[in-house]
Structure 1
Amino acid sequence: MYVEILLLLQQKEEFKKAEQMLHLALKLAQQQQNDQAVTYIHDLMANLAYDTEDLSKAETLFVNVLQRLIASGAQQDDNRVLHISYKMADIYKKMGDIEKAEQGFQFCTERLENKLRVSPDEDTTLLLAMTLDAHARLLLDMRRLDQAFTCYQRAYFLAGDTHEQTAVLLNDLGTVSFLRGDHDTALMYLNRAVEVGSQQHLAAVYVNMGSLYLQKQMVDEAKRSCELGWSSANKHGDKEAMNEASLCLQEVKRLMQNKSRH
């Protein structure tokens, strides 16, 4: 019941009410000396802080949850422990502590890969794909493009073509390929993203395709891709993608005007 109400409050972005409700639930669990419930509520509180970008609070709460899990007998390769470790690495990335973030992602990756070698399962596979994706984004931010590309490739291999994040991964692979100067490979990944992606994920893909076509001086293809990107972004209220598509179309217009003068 508490979880259903909490989810409803989060959907309505009533985060303060959600936090108040969790504090009441925590007090009740502590009065009942229900250690399992206390750990679970701390985890919910940590995730609420994480989702609302209250990073310092999220870090403190996640550390508390980890300590409670390990004290209750959880091993370091328990997916509950590794999922929290992944989120803490992401917190360190957002805080700008790159060394801790990378150590965290590497810790999770090594243990998840070891688990999959011994006993493959879907939850572990998806958690590893998430970890590799997040690590790749960190590497991309640092312009360590070859390492980012490898992480994205491994994440895509694990996620397959049916996962909801597949189009996003393919778009990222296209972006990294573009930055590495491999335009043909970039276009291959972006076309694949269009084939497998749902409409809400395609605006950024189309805009990236438009930018790539501009680099290749394929103006008509760039115009078509950026128009599709603008339309998709407008439909789904993605203002950032709309702005990028508009900039792409302005560049298309400029190139067409220059071409007509000659």
Structure 2
Amino acid sequence: MLAALRRGPGLLAAAGRRCSGARLAAGRGQGARGAGRGSGPRRGRSGPSPGAVLAAVAAFSLFSRNAEEEKETQEGENAETEDTIIFLLKKAKLSIMKGELEEAEQILHQAVGLAHQSGNKRAIIYTYDLMANLAFLRGQLDSAEKLFKAAMSFLLAGGMKQDDNAIIEMSLKLASIYAAQNQHKLAHAGYEFCILTLDEKVAKCKDLTEDILPAEEKANTRLLLGLCLDSYGRYLLAHKQLPEAQRMYERALQISREVQGETHPQTVVLMSDLATVLDARGLYDAAYVHGKRASELAKQTEHPEAHVMLNNLAGILMHKEDFLQAKQVYKEALNQAKQKGDTASIRHIQEEMAELARRKHSG
């Protein structure tokens, strides 16, 4: 897989335990649909949201722990330079949060220059990872690819194994870049490499005792596998490979349930995602069961995107031709969207309600 990645020319998957990003079902004729039915998730946009990139920067960040939190344990003549690098990295992350992307890029260039001068490989890797995420956010996919590959090369040259979570995380991001560029062979190869490698790793680590491998590391590896399944499922759904997408989402949901619990925000999102796939396949009864449960849990846990899940549920009800209940659920979704000031969702729900009215009258 690594050879294939190096050969490939230069969408970032939000790496980590994301709890946002629940999907707003696409309107008629929009998004991914199966045989003209079902609603695709709101993931077909041209690039990730700033929140998605920040999730990639923060969650599963094996580098942030190494580069920042372990600073106090390191000594030597490069301590002052290291302090400066850490300051620059924090400043760059703050600029990204503020949406000041050009300034963030300039700061990161300063940081990586100092890291190279001081020979701090850990800082070089972490900075390249941040620069790659930023490049993707700015739509610079070729640059993002090269930076991820550079970081991977440093890790592998330092003796890191190909099944290390850091390598898998970057491989997933590269697969997502190829997906965004419609390089489908490389995208499929990348996703499958990540999933197969993590499947083998999870199986090998399953029976290891706590003193050999902490439970937290086992859980992190399973969650990363869930993330890969989720990302691949989105890709398959977008290309209407619905049975395969369903299998990916079912596995991702199972992992999230087992590791994080039924009410965890990410579990709720995946439940709604699975409902979307089932709806797209025309399996409306099964879709309704999952969609209704996701909406109930979202309400119970005060999920930030409960209105999105209600919208998805209403879409399923519309496809079941339960127009009366669909209208009620759409109204509830619209009220919540208005309370939260989500203008994009408001507009979309209104479009869906108009579609409902057309179907009701034509029926």
Check whether TM > 0.5. Answer: yes
Match of residue 145 from structure 1: 242
Whether 1:123 aligns to 2:220 is yes
Q: CA deviation at 1:99?
A: 1.2
Deviation per residue, 1:7-65 (Å, 9 max, x gap): 21111001111111111111112221222222221122112213333211100100111
Q: CA deviation at 1:108?
A: 0.4
CA distance in 2 between counterparts of 1:110 and 1:204 reads: 32
Structure 1: gaps of 5 or more residues:
none
Residue 96 of structure 1 aligns to a residue whose secondary structure is coil
Q: Are residues 257 and 6 of structure 1, via their aligned partners in 2, closer, same or farther at CA, if it must alter by over 3 Å? A: same
Deviation per residue, 1:53-79 (Å, 9 max, x gap): 321110010011111110010110011
CA distance in 2 between counterparts of 1:251 and 1:34 reads: 58
1:68 to 148, 154, 170: 154
8 Å Cα contact 2:89-2:108 kept in structure 1:
no
2:114 to 20, 28, 33: 28
Match of residue 133 from structure 1: 230
8 Å Cα contact 2:253-2:271 kept in structure 1:
yes
Q: Give the superposed CA RMSD.
A: 1.9
Amino acid in the other structure paired with 1:149: Q
Q: CA deviation at 1:238?
A: 3.4
2:251 to 154, 168, 181: 154
Amino acid in the other structure paired with 1:133: D
CA distance in 2 between counterparts of 1:91 and 1:128 reads: 18
Match of residue 94 from structure 1: 180
Deviation per residue, 1:63-118 (Å, 9 max, x gap): 11111110010110011100000110011111111111111010000111111112
1:53 to 100, 120, 139: 139
Residue 75 of structure 1 aligns to a residue whose secondary structure is coil
Which residues in structure 2 correspond to 1:158-169 (within 5 Å)?
158-160=255-257, 161-169=262-270
1:112 to 175, 192, 198: 198
Whether 1:203 aligns to 2:283 is no
Residue 200 of structure 1 aligns to a residue whose secondary structure is coil
Q: After alignment, is 187-196 or 34-43 more displaced? A: 34-43
8 Å Cα contact 2:295-2:313 kept in structure 1:
no
Match of residue 294 from structure 2: 193
Amino acid in the other structure paired with 1:111: T
CA distance in 1 between counterparts of 2:146 and 2:109 reads: 16
Q: After alignment, is 108-117 or 29-38 more displaced? A: 29-38
CA distance in 1 between counterparts of 2:140 and 2:285 reads: 41
8 Å Cα contact 1:207-1:244 kept in structure 2:
no
Which ranges of 4 or more aligned residues in structure 1 deviate by more than 3 Å?
235-240, 251-259
Q: Are residues 38 and 216 of structure 1, via their aligned partners in 2, closer, same or farther at CA, if it must alter by over 3 Å? A: closer
CA distance in 2 between counterparts of 1:119 and 1:95 reads: 35
CA distance in 1 between counterparts of 2:141 and 2:362 reads: 49
Match of residue 7 from structure 2: none
CA distance in 2 between counterparts of 1:56 and 1:102 reads: 18
Match of residue 78 from structure 1: 164
Amino acid in the other structure paired with 2:350: S
Deviation per residue, 1:217-251 (Å, 9 max, x gap): 32221111111221233333433432231123224
Q: CA deviation at 1:255?
A: 6.0
Instruction: Say how many residue pairs are matched.
Output: 259
Residue 305 of structure 2 aligns to a residue whose secondary structure is helix
Match of residue 180 from structure 1: 281
Q: CA deviation at 1:172?
A: 1.5
Structure 2: gaps of 5 or more residues:
1-86, 207-217
Q: Are residues 232 and 53 of structure 1, via their aligned partners in 2, closer, same or farther at CA, if it must alter by over 3 Å? A: farther
How high is the TM-score relative to the length of structure 2?
0.67
2:326 to 216, 222, 246: 222
Residue 304 of structure 2 aligns to a residue whose secondary structure is helix
Amino acid in the other structure paired with 1:19: E
